[in-house]
């Protein structure tokens, strides 16, 4: 083993740099796993927001597909439980979406699921996500984020139009709109 005599200031700086590197790495891991809006709140918001979509009939139970995989951070069962008995819900994996989308009015993509929203556009089905970035980028039409420590409705008008969907001005006025 080497016995190096380094000046105390070099050792001090090295320790501080090591601490900063560890702090940043752990901080990024924690932030990557942080879920902006809890499942039950997203479910409650979704049931309310869908009442303002004229393309979704309100006289029957709304049919929703919940697309998940084993890597999703959100708990699909908690989300489904949060929907209550107001909807007919079917949980599927992404590879099952194409054969199941017919007859459903809404597809909810769990955290991190993407690349399948073109099926919603082709079938004129409302796409909803737990990933705010996908709404901002126009991949998905509706999502829920946090603004000023409160849940916020996110709507992408371009994606919404491509899906043949719309919301009343009441929702658009209180939501954060992307084009």
d(CA 47, CA 158): 22
pLDDT, residue 113, reads 87
- The answer, yes or no, to whether residue 107 has pLDDT greater than 80, is yes
The beta strands (E) that lie in the chain are given as 62-67, 87-92, 106-109, 126-129, 142-147, 150-156, 176-178
pLDDT, residue 18, reads 43
- The answer, yes or no, to whether residue 176 has pLDDT greater than 80, is yes
For range 4-18, the mean pLDDT: 54
For range 49-78, the mean pLDDT: 89
Cβ atoms of 67 and 97 closer than 8 Å? yes
pLDDT, residue 112, reads 80
Quick one: how far is CA 8 from the chain centroid? 49
d(CA 109, CA 67): 5
Cα-trace Rg, the chain: 21
- pLDDT band at residue 167 using 50, 70 and 90 as cut-offs: very high
d(CA 110, CA 166): 22
- What homologous superfamily is domain 39-178 in, according to CATH? Response regulator (3.40.50.2300)
Q: Residues 118-163: pLDDT tens digits?
A: 999 999 999 999 899 999 999 999 999 999 889 999 999 999 999 9
* Cβ contacts of 90 within 8 Å, gap of 6 or more: 63, 64, 65, 66, 100, 104
- pLDDT band at residue 2 using 50, 70 and 90 as cut-offs: low
Q: Residues 75-91: pLDDT tens digits?
A: 888 999 999 888 999 99
User: Comparing 102 with 130, which gets the higher pLDDT?
Assistant: 102
- pLDDT band at residue 7 using 50, 70 and 90 as cut-offs: low
């Amino acid at each position: 083993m080497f016995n190096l005599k380094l000046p105390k200031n070099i050792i001090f700086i090295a320790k501080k740099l090591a601490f900063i590197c560890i702090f940043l790495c752990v901080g990024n891991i924690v932030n990557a796993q942080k879920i902006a809006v809890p499942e039950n709140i997203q479910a409650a918001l979704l049931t309310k927001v869908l009442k303002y979509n004229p393309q979704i009939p309100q006289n029957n139970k709304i049919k929703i597909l919940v697309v998940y995989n084993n890597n999703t951070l959100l708990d699909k069962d908690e989300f489904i439980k949060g929907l209550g008995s107001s909807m007919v819900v079917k949980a599927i994996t992404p590879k099952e979406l194409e054969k199941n989308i017919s007859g459903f009015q809404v597809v909810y993509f769990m955290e991190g699921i993407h690349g399948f929203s073109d099926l919603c556009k082709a079938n004129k089905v409302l796409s909803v996500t737990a990933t705010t970035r996908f709404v901002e980028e126009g991949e998905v039409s509706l999502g829920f984020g946090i603004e000023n420590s409160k849940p916020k409705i996110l709507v992408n008008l371009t994606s919404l139009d491509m899906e043949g969907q719309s919301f009343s001005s009441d929702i658009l006025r209180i939501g954060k709109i992307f084009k």
